[in-house]
Amino acid sequence: MRLTTLILITGILQVSASSYAQKISLSERNANLTEVLNQIRTQTGYDFFFESVNLKSLKNISIKAQKEELKTVLNRMLDPQNLTYSIRDKAIIIKEKEASLLIKAQSAILKLIQDITATGRVVDEKAAPLVGANVRIKGTNKGAKTNENGIFTLKGVDEDTVLEISYIGYKIREVKASMKLENIALEISTDDLEEVNVMVSTGYQTLPKERATGSFVQIDNNLLNRSVSTDILSRLDGVTSSLLFDRRDKENTKLQIRGISTVFASPQPLIILDNFPYEGDINNINPNDVEAVTVLKDAAAASIWGARAGNGVIVITTKKGRYNQPLQISINTNFTLAPKPDLFNIPEMSTSDYISAQRYLFNNNFYDDDLNDAQTYPPLGEIVELLSKQRNLPSTDVQARALIDEQINELQRYDVRNDFEKYIYQTSVNQQHSLSISSGTENAKYMIAAGYDRNIPQLKGNASERLTLRFNHSQTLLKNLELQTNIAFTRSSSQMNSTGGYFGNYNIGSRNIYPYSRFATDDGLPLAIERNLRKSFIDGTLSNGLLDWSYKPTNDRLYNIIDN
């Protein structure tokens, strides 16, 4: 046992000794310390770590060593920097040397001797005291406030400290700290606030907010960009009052301003784009090209746009270049990701309970009328088909009846929501990219903007793309006479090939879906679900040589191609 311990101690000492005995060769002049340490790491394989060391305070070093031991080289490098080190495994930890107790005591006494208590009195231009003025040591959070006589006291202040004195409505003043400061007078701030003019566009003219009549609301660019979406309607939703969105028809969102104003005519508000009525699809307007939106909400808009303003007016102003503006290039890109919906968060009857309910109804002759219907052959579900087949078997055919029971038990393992998430839904990805170039001279200005959007919604088979190009040029011909040129191009396409989503009650569109329905086999082969006719009837027509009338949701997406 003693011999083993001796061998271990000897081995450890040899390893430690070998680490210090490594030979280092260096030749550097006025080099950064970290760069020199990096060379040592390359030669020795040791990694260097700094512990509570201010790297900015380190000085450059000059060193020349020819096959010297690691310990000797490190001491020559680190001692002048007041640094020490320790070796742990293959790492060398560098930290600052701890000061001795004597040095610490001397530093504390010296600080007490050098620090002073600064006092003073802060007054205004009439020598009246300023109560509550802030007196702060510059560059720190240490400070004090003046009392009812305008006097402040700051203890433990270095003589070379600069004090910042501030008060609301007065200019900030800096003074050097002193044990007794005389009256410190502050000057009233004469900086004039910049006048902010809020301009409102009625589509006919642009005028200050104070001169605009009627009820209106303006949505500036900051408010418009609070949400990220590829259409202007989504960005307007929820950011202004009295603008209502009717989304019952998902393909055609309707707008209302302050409610319904007509019964038989169109209730849509008038859209004004850059001072002209816009008759196109509002979804073709790239929201990244919009500078501001003004909603005119009352009859005052009719004095500008006539009877067409009866449902309200939405004035859209696009971005433009500015006079005397240097070349500016703006790029904007955003991605929006949305996971698949959690269908299991919706409380639904379990598959086994649903099958038990169907079995109960079957045993009480609930499906007999539909089973005997030889005219329309209504769909009933696979469980009812199996139970009907089992009932028609002779009681002596035990094996066939048992096989049907096994098939029913097998269907209890499935949940159609798993197939919805696997074959119908996907992660939604919306991407939006825009580029704009603008510039201006004394008499001309222009802006060129391009945008590309691609949306992949949560339903597989659906997608949309949009490409927008816009050119705006303004030329001042005479005083108060400006010629504007606007060219806009939009190309959009969409695919609506999805078979439909999960709306509860296991319906995909108007199809008959049961909790035990399956869209594909375990190998991914498409399976049919009942559509408008009973499955047994469709199987019979197929065996008689007719076309396949079965409905397979996973295949339907491949053939139900609708491009816009």
User: What tens digit of pLDDT does each residue of 185-238 get?
Assistant: 898 876 544 444 556 677 666 666 655 666 777 888 888 888 888 888 888 887
User: pLDDT above 70 covers what percent of the chain?
Assistant: 84
| CATH of residue 75 | 3.55.50.30
For residues 498 and 354, the model is more confident at 354
| CATH of residue 172 | 2.60.40.10
Q: Is the dihedral of CA 553, 557, 559, 562 positive or negative?
A: positive
Contacts for 528 with CB less than 8 Å, ≥ 6 apart: 535, 538, 550, 551, 552
What is the number of other CB atoms lying within 10 angstroms of the CB of residue 45?
10
| 380 inside domain | no
**Of the residues 58, 75, 96, which one is the last residue of a structural domain?**
96
- Tens-place pLDDT, residues 370-418: 999 888 889 888 999 999 999 999 988 889 999 999 999 999 999 988 9
d(CA 6, CA 383): 81
Is residue 101 predicted with pLDDT exceeding 50?
Answer: yes
Predicted local distance difference test score (pLDDT) of residue 357: 94
Contact in structure between 294 and 202 (CB atoms under 8 Å): yes
Per-residue pLDDT averaged across 75-95, rounded?
84
| 7 inside domain | no
**What is the pLDDT confidence band of residue 3, given thresholds at 50, 70 and 90?**
very low
Is residue 553 predicted with pLDDT exceeding 50?
Answer: yes
DSSP string, 361-415: HHHTTTTHHHHT-TTT-----HHHHHHHHHHTS-TT-HHHHHHHHHHHHHHTT--
| 191 inside domain | no
**What is the pLDDT confidence band of residue 5, given thresholds at 50, 70 and 90?**
very low
Q: What is the dihedral of CA 253, 256, 260, 261, to 10 degrees?
A: -120
| 488 inside domain | yes
| 267 inside domain | yes
- On whether both 337 and 469 belong to a single domain, the answer is yes
Distances (CA, A) of 187 to 138, 153, 162, 175: 19, 22, 18, 14
Per-residue pLDDT averaged across 234-262, rounded?
77
Specify which of 103-117, 350-364, 501-515, 528-542 reaches the highest per-range mean pLDDT. 350-364
- On whether both 263 and 122 belong to a single domain, the answer is no
- On whether both 337 and 280 belong to a single domain, the answer is no
| 63 inside domain | yes
| 53-62, 106-115, 360-369, 372-381, range with the lowest pLDDT | 106-115
- On whether both 121 and 92 belong to a single domain, the answer is no
- On whether both 312 and 325 belong to a single domain, the answer is no
Per-residue pLDDT averaged across 270-290, rounded?
88
Distance, C-alpha 130 to centroid of its chain: 48
Written as six digits, the tokens of 396 are 């002596």
Per-residue pLDDT averaged across 285-307, rounded?
83
Q: What share of the chain is helix, strand, coil (3-state, %, to 5)?
A: 30, 35, 40
The parent domain of residue 115 ranges over 107-185
Single-letter amino acid code for the residue at 204: Y
- On whether both 438 and 557 belong to a single domain, the answer is yes
| 376 inside domain | no
Predicted local distance difference test score (pLDDT) of residue 86: 85
Predicted local distance difference test score (pLDDT) of residue 429: 94
- On whether both 487 and 560 belong to a single domain, the answer is yes
| 142 inside domain | yes
Is residue 10 predicted with pLDDT exceeding 70?
Answer: no
**What is the pLDDT confidence band of residue 482, given thresholds at 50, 70 and 90?**
confident
| CATH of residue 301 | 2.170.130.10
Is residue 74 predicted with pLDDT exceeding 90?
Answer: no
How many residues are recorded in the chain? 564
Burial of 321 (0-12, 13-18, 19+ CB in 10 A): buried
**Of the residues 294, 318, 342, which one is the last residue of a structural domain?**
318
- On whether both 435 and 331 belong to a single domain, the answer is yes
d(CA 232, CA 318): 12
- On whether both 125 and 207 belong to a single domain, the answer is no
Q: What is the mean pLDDT of the chain?
A: 81
Distances (CA, A) of 152 to 157, 185, 228: 13, 14, 52
For residues 433 and 246, the model is more confident at 433
Which is it for strands 116-123 and 151-157: parallel, antiparallel or unpaired? antiparallel
Written as six digits, the tokens of 173 are 């003043």
d(CA 126, CA 185): 8
Contact in structure between 430 and 230 (CB atoms under 8 Å): yes
**Of the residues 96, 124, 142, which one is the last residue of a structural domain?**
96
- On whether both 204 and 266 belong to a single domain, the answer is yes
Predicted local distance difference test score (pLDDT) of residue 12: 39
State the total domains in the chain: 4
- Tens-place pLDDT, residues 130-165: 988 999 888 888 888 899 888 888 887 777 788 899
- On whether both 335 and 481 belong to a single domain, the answer is yes
123-124-127 Cα angle (round to 5): 65
Residue located via tokens 């303004």: 474
Is residue 182 predicted with pLDDT exceeding 90?
Answer: no
Predicted local distance difference test score (pLDDT) of residue 387: 94
Specify which of 298-302, 307-311, 414-418 reaches the highest per-range mean pLDDT. 414-418
- On whether both 148 and 203 belong to a single domain, the answer is no
Residue located via tokens 């002209």: 276
**What is the pLDDT confidence band of residue 11, given thresholds at 50, 70 and 90?**
very low
pTM of the model: 0.57
